[in-house]
Structure 1
Amino acid sequence: MKTKKLYSIVVVGLLTLFIFGGCTEDFEEINTNRTKLTELDQSTLGPAFANAQWRTFSAYQIFQNLFSDLYAQYFTTITPNFPSDRHVQVGRWIDASYRVFSTDPVPSILEVIEKTAENGDDVGNAVARVWKVHMFHRITDYFGPIPYFELGSSESSVPYDDQQTIYMDFFNELDAAIAVLESNPGGSAFGTNDLIYGGDAGQWLKFANSLRLRLALRISGVDAAKARTEAEKAVASGVMLTNGDNAFLAVNDASFNQLNQITAWNEFRMSANMESLLKGYNDPRISAYFAPTVDNPNEYEGARNGLKQSDLALPENKANTLSNMADIFLPPSQGINPQTVMYSAESYFLRAEGALNGWNMDGTAEDLYNMGIRLSLEQWGTPEDDIQPYIDGTSLPVATGDFVNTPPLTDIPVLYDPANALEQIHTQKWLALYPNGWEAWAEMRRTGFPRQYPRISSDNPDAPADQIVRRMRFVDGEYINNARAMDGAVEKLGGPDKELTRLWWDPN
């Protein structure tokens, strides 16, 4: 593939995205220094790969926090000027975010793949191809059709590819990468420039199989046979099993956890969904996820999504009366708290669902569900004596007692119940995925679980308050700069370029 010779190799400069007046200081500063190179050599391949990893999470606030984190209902906004919680997709935010993705990590990862192949670095090539799948599955799960096969070409107009074809290529890429990683269990790539596993090929094999498992379940509603094949291959080859396998992106004071940066701006708080579930289940993770309110240090309080400006004026919806994130997510830890990529607990919940489908997941749905809960609780520091009582818990979610008399979110306990197993699996997975709203929103769309409270209000007539937004609209900049491709993009989407048009894997 012919790629543009444009890379961000060293993260040194600061370029602030001035996106919308009156709040420019609230948007993350994008570290970038693009250097036009004629060729990457062995000494620059590692930094290029590190750049692709870290920059995958760029523009965190305007790409993730103000959209998928709210659509997943992990948080609610307390800032009147942010209409995204009322189903408005602010085009400037998404346009800027997509531009960062397509001009920074994408060229880096494509060039690393190309050069490792030329250099005969099979393990490095395999690791880079796995990361490419991770990068692009996030983007296609946001928009649907995207430029994929020809993104990075020197053409002035880059066509969009349909999501089904992209997903099939994901599995092909993972097949090739996993074959290499299986053959090189003691192999290494990129050394300390691999910000997740330090170059360990064995760990990348587990991550690659867990990613394959995630993608397999994602397509299970539209291609059950393919989904089963891919899921069983993943489990047979070996997925993430312990918290030692968790994928975190290492950070430092220069390349920091971007979630920790935006908490300084005091713009979002715990959702009502979180309050109902965490309080009702007496969930020990509540203090690891959130902080007690400032006004009442003995209470954790959330709020409904979609609050109107008049609602935000009420005392109970103020910053001091709602729960912020826990201390580990606050700015003093931004160079210490690693960036979430993927947890091993997720692989257990995916396997539990697969077992419900009758697939060979090397365990029963109940046992895998319980192990997923156990790993998540252990990950967040729950004492051993508190784990089994939680798994066996029969308490139910609670009403939140707010100004609209919000009822309990659902009526299922934690204790496994075959009659409600699917909802239980996805409710506990949602809790365990925190704070990865990107993935949580995708799974809510696919499964309908956990249940959502309707938003208090929507400012978008195309997306009523009682509906789940199904996708992000194509970015405005593409209609201007890639106009020739956009008719084909909408055709491949299979519906209008609107928020409620479902993606290929979301047919029901």
Structure 2
Amino acid sequence: MKSLSRYIMLMAVPAASFLSSCTKNFESMNKDTNRVLPENNNPTYNLTRAELEYTGNHDFSFETWRVNIIYLSLMTQQMASTTGWYSGDKYGRNDGFASSYFTLAYGNQIKYVNDMLKTTKDKPNYANLYQVGRIARVLIYHRLTDLYGYVPYFQAGTGDNDTPAYDSQQAIYADMLKELDEAAKALNDSKDKIDKSDLIYRGGDNAVAQWKKLAYSLMIRLGMRMSKVAPGDARTWVEKGAAGGPILSNDDNAYIIHDVSGGRITLNRNSNILAGEWDAIGKGNIYLGKTFIDYLKSHKDPRLKYLAQVTAGGSKDTSVQIGMPNGYDESNAGATDIKKEPNYPGDILKYSNIQKNIWLKLDGPTFLVTAAQTELLLAEAKQLGWNIPGGDAASHYNNGVTAAFKQLAQYDKSAAITDGEVTAYLAAFPYNPAKGLEQINTQYWANCFLDWYEAWSNWRRTDFPKLKPIVYPGDNNGGVIPRRMLYPAAEASSNAASYSDAIGKQGPNTFNTRVWWDKQ
């Protein structure tokens, strides 16, 4: 179109002049300068977009709402709902909700990170940025395969295959671990600087070293995921990650600080849904769950005073906080009506909800990988007898709890838990090796508040905390807490052969088909 318009304009000039200028400028005249080509593409833009997409910030995309909140926050029993379409509270099947992360990951997240990798590969001036892209790609696929199991991986995102094969989770894990290992080793402070286009470490002086720590922390997380199905490989990778230097300080936590000024595509997606534009809390769609509140209260957890407030009146007094039990509705009939619950407080607004001013700020952080999580996983590895530096299982457990409590200050400085409170908690609830795995992984569950993707995955692996399934009339998944999300229905027709192959190898496209590492 641009060449054609130039040709029409030039028709008015003399022929000789036209022929001369046409010959002289032919190449530039016939080049579409509106197209983003590899030579004029800035790969740091793709990194920014991939990171934003990963935290659910594609405008009008609802994978955070549908999967993280509507399903996983409720299935992990940290939240509860009497609203019918909040399907996770009672395990109702909604294929559109359960498949939304699959659709958005391939439509946006993977596209951006793959474009970045293509642009930076074998470019000395982007040596570190390329390695960061490899680690970011693992972050995305790690979540994707943990949600669905078999997914397109090796043939996905290439731009030349509309029907990519689905790969086994075992094969995907092997490649992700290889990518982390190679990327961590290749990162080098003497090469290119990671600038502020990286939303995770924000162009800090230690960004390259911090990305290396993130790679080793992900190596530990992936290794522990395999602990039941491939314990030998799991141990190898966890020990390598521990020796490499993972995230062990909150100063190195991987998180994105959001920006209100950019609208939906830059603000905190969890906050926007729960407290902002959609205000699920204000509309009475969702409350803090009884399982979660009871755990925090019974353990005199210092986080509770910064987490919960009574919906009516806003009291933050920890003694009056009440979590809503899962599995109830507001039908005004039958035993499932919330008013029939034996401990109903007399008004639904007496149930507790999240303190928005701390946890749900629109410019607040979205945490991805933390020191608390890493230390708790290392505590478990040490409990299993693996070769982990830094003390015994109790030491890593204490470090993990301390980091989890101190992490609150990164949400808001007013939520700072003191050293004295940490010491008192660990004295009152010391690490007990006989119950070590339960203590470790229940603390992990609590630390993953708002990151319900990770809370659900680690619960599936460990079965801690011990969640009591909800039995509810009708579509309730047989009273079984779901073990995976669902493929999009369109895959059965648009990628029929690959889809059928995956179903044949992994199992039917249902909530109860377990992914590779999820063994009983």
Are the counterparts in 1 of residues 378 and 396 from structure 2 also a CA contact under 8 Å?
yes
Which runs of structure 2 are paired with 1:29-428 in the superposition (5 Å)? 37-41=35-39, 44-58=42-56, 59=62, 60-120=64-124, 121-153=126-158, 154-181=160-187, 184-185=188-189, 187-199=191-203, 200-253=207-260, 254=262, 255-263=266-274, 264-266=279-281, 267-295=285-313, 297=315, 298=317, 299-310=320-331, 311-312=336-337, 314=339, 316=345, 320-328=349-357, 333-334=361-362, 336-362=363-389, 363-380=391-408, 381-393=416-428, 414-428=429-443
Q: Secondary structure at the match of 2:246?
A: coil
The separation in 1 between residues aligned to 2:301 and 2:97, in whole angstroms, is 35
Q: Alpha-carbon deviation of 1:42?
A: 6.5
Deviation for aligned residue 1:98: 2.5
Equivalent position amino acid for 1:248 in 2: Y
Larger deviation, residues 296-305 vs 172-181: 296-305
SS across alignment from 2:508:
coil
Q: Are 2:469 and 1:464 equivalent residues in the alignment?
A: no
How far off is 1:190 after superposition?
A: 4.3
1:189 positional shift: 4.6
1:130, CA displacement in angstroms? 0.4
SS state at 2:422 partner:
helix
Q: Distance in 1 between matches of 2:457 and 2:212?
A: 24
Structure 1 residues 273 and 187, CA gap change in structure 2 (3 angstroms): farther
The Cα shift of 1:194 comes to: 0.2
TM-score, length of structure 1 as denominator length? 0.84
CA deviation after TM superposition for structure 1 residue 469, in Å: 1.4
- Residues 257-279 of structure 1, C-alpha deviation per residue, up to 9 Å, x if partnerless? 10110111222111111111111
Comparing 57-66 with 368-377, greater Cα deviation is found at 57-66
With over 3 angstroms needed to count, the CA separation of the structure-2 counterparts of 1:419 and 1:458, relative to structure 1, is farther
Give the deviation of 1:56 after TM superposition: 1.0
- In the superposition, the TM-score normalised over structure 2's length comes to 0.82
Alignment deviations for residues 339-388 of structure 1 (CA, whole Å, 9 cap, x no partner): 12121111110000000111111121111101111111122221111111
- 1:104-153 per-residue CA deviation (whole Å, 9 max, x = no partner) reads 11111011111111423221111010010010110100010001111123
Unaligned runs of 5+ in 2: 1-32, 57-61, 409-415
Q: Secondary structure at the match of 1:291?
A: strand
Structure 1 portions without partners, runs of 5+ = 1-34, 394-413
Deviations 1:465-497 (A, max 9, x none): 2x331111222121232222211111231x222
Question: 1:61-93: CA deviations, max 9, x gaps?
Answer: 013111122222211123233233211231122
CA deviation string 1:285-309 (max 9, x = no partner) = 0122222332572321111222244
Whichever residue aligns with residue 328 of structure 2, its letter is L
Q: Is the 8 A contact 2:213 2:246 kept in 1?
A: yes
Letter in 2 for 1:217: M
What CA RMSD, in Å, does the superposition of the two structures yield over aligned residues? 2.1
SS at match of 1:132: helix
**2:467 aligned with 1:455:** no
Deviation of 1:318 after TM superposition, in Å, equals 5.9
Distance 1:459 1:475, change over 3 A: farther
**Taking structure 1 as reference, are residues 330 and 431 closer, same or farther at Cα in structure 2, changes over 3 Å only?**
closer
Distance 1:145 1:37, change over 3 A: farther
SS in 1 for 2:368: strand
| Count of paired positions | 447
Say which SS state the counterpart of residue 324 (structure 2) adopts.
Answer: coil
Structure 1 residues 354 and 313, CA, compared in 2 at 3 Å: closer, same or farther? closer
